[in-house]
Amino acid sequence: MHIYIYDYFLNQKKYDKIVAKIETRITDLGLQGKNCHVGPLKSLKSIVTEELKNNPTTIIAIGDNKTLNEVVNAAKDSNIIIGIIPIGNNNSIADTLGITDEDQACNVLSARLIERIDIGVINNNYFIANAKIATQGTVMEINGKYTIEPTGDGEVEIINLNTSTQNSKINPNDGLFEIFINVNQKKLMSSTNEQSFIQTNRVIINNLKHNQFLIDNAVEIPTPVEIGVIKNKLSVIVGKERGF
Amino acid sequence: MLIVRCLKSMFKKEETNTNFKEAETIIGPSVKVEGDFAGQGNLIIDGVVKGSVSTDGNLKVGEQAKITASVKADNAFVSGEIKGNMIIKGDLELTNTAKVWGDIEAKSICVARGAVLNGKFTMTGTKGDEETKETKQPEEVKIIEEDAEKIS
């Protein structure tokens, strides 16, 4: 049985048509299951925990990156297959998984092409794509062997699944994540973008200015953090045009 | 003929760069690393490193790099500063901007005019080197034995 979890923001009137369209399409494809709507009295986590007791075959997150992240975190003790139907603007993960819009997402669910990918762990929270923090005051200790400290303003990005078009060699099945340090050096007349790139499977990061990590462009995590990776932990339904 | 030479040199440049295109680790100019930095695969350093650097692959040290560390690599191409001993299994190339303070072990070396090299260089993996070491040791022992007889 499929469990469809509609995120809270889809209760807005402007999404009524899209939600109705998805429900119709799902029925047409013979993929109907239980529809659960997140509301003020029912959190996404409680819905997932409750529904997992009925041993469903698939949980489908309907929403954006944040919805998918919350579903993955709520279902982290199970090995259930997860799908996504993207709605809204913040859907870089769905794009990388080869799912561009709600119409195509229903077809992808019907084709049911399953891929196992690594998942990042940041202080017991899972992230699928990336975790970002400002470089100012950030110190990284890698595998307990050496420390890295950026010396300019910019961004540190921990990448598990690459959602941008750059760095095409990032592999979400290798049991490693990539640390990408992007520093913008401003000079008198111009500015240069200086980049560093390190692969590892464990890092401890502290930020002396108390900046927070932003995971999957959706959820904030306070520092210090320990980041690791679990190889091939997440089973996810992907499209043919996925970016890996 | 000139065009052919230019084309040849262009292709040569590409060949030398291909190893570093597949770099698995890049330490940029705006990054400071401290500790035992051990990498697998090709490594490019343009920043500041203190401690030790070792990699199974090739090492490229950029012009802006300042390394105060012992360095171990398969092959190395150095344009920046290194203060520390270097052990290179294969080839070492020092460009005209390279500055090295420390002892170097390498199979072969190429030093450009303008490079600074302060330290002892040992060429490893050559047959002649091993033979001279083997022959020298017994001679020294003989001299000491003769001296001992005279003294007694």
pLDDT tens figures, A122-164: 999 999 999 999 999 999 999 999 999 999 999 999 999 998 8
Identify the pLDDT of residue A176: 93
Which has the closest alpha carbon to A166: A148, A178, A150, A175? A178
Report phi then psi at A68, rounded to 5. -65, -45
> Is the CB of residue A150 less than 8 Å away from at least one CB of chain B?
yes
Distance from CA of B52 to the nearest CA of A (A): 9
pLDDT at B7 over 50: no
Residues of A in contact with B29 (CB under 8 A): 185, 194
Identify the pLDDT of residue A229: 96
Identify the pLDDT of residue A243: 83
Instruction: Give B44: exposed, middle or buried? Use CB within 10 Å, 0-12, 13-18, 19+.
Output: buried
Report phi then psi at A100, rounded to 5. -100, -35
Distance from CA of A120 to the nearest CA of B (A): 20
Distance CA B95, CA B116 (A): 9
pLDDT at B86 over 70: yes
Identify the pLDDT of residue B141: 38
Q: Is the peptide bond before A224 cis (omega within 30 degrees of 0)?
A: yes
The residue written with tokens 């091993």 in the block is: B130
Angle between helices A44-52 and A65-74 (to 10 degrees): 40
Identify the pLDDT of residue B14: 37
- Report the DSSP pairing between strands A212-215 and A130-134: antiparallel
HSE-up of residue B62 (Cα within 13 Å, Cβ side):
16
Reported as a pLDDT band with limits 50, 70 and 90, residue B128 is: low
Residue of chain A with shortest Cα separation from B46: A196
Q: How many contacts (CB atoms, under 8 Å) link A and B?
A: 58
Query: Given CA atoms A23, A26, A27, A33 in this order, what sign does their dihedral have?
Result: negative
Residues 26-65 of B with CB under 8 A from A: 26-38, 46-48, 51
Distance CA A76, CA A79 (A): 7
Residue of chain A with shortest Cα separation from B37: A146
Q: First vs last Cα of chain B: how many Å apart? A: 76
Q: Do A146 and B29 touch (CB under 8 A)?
A: no
pLDDT at B24 over 90: no
Residues of A in contact with B25 (CB under 8 A): 197-199
> Is the CB of residue A154 less than 8 Å away from at least one CB of chain B?
yes
Low-confidence ranges of chain A (pLDDT < 70): 165-168
Q: Is B96 helix (H, G, I), strand (E, B) or coil?
A: coil
> What is this structure's pTM?
0.83
Under a CB-based contact definition with an 8 Å cutoff, are residues B20 and A130 in contact?
no
Question: For all residues of chain A together, what is the average pLDDT?
Answer: 93
Hey, which CATH number is domain A122-229, 2.70.98.10, 1.10.10.10, 3.90.45.10, 2.60.200.40?
Answer: 2.60.200.40
For chain A, where do the domains classified as CATH 3.40.50.10330 start and end?
2-111
Mutation for testing the A interface, residue in B31, B43, B55 having most A CBs under 10 Å: B31
Question: For all residues of chain B together, what is the average pLDDT?
Answer: 79
Q: Do B35 and A197 touch (CB under 8 A)?
A: no
Identify the pLDDT of residue B15: 38
For chain A, where do the domains classified as CATH 2.60.200.40 start and end?
122-229
Class of domain A2-111: alpha beta
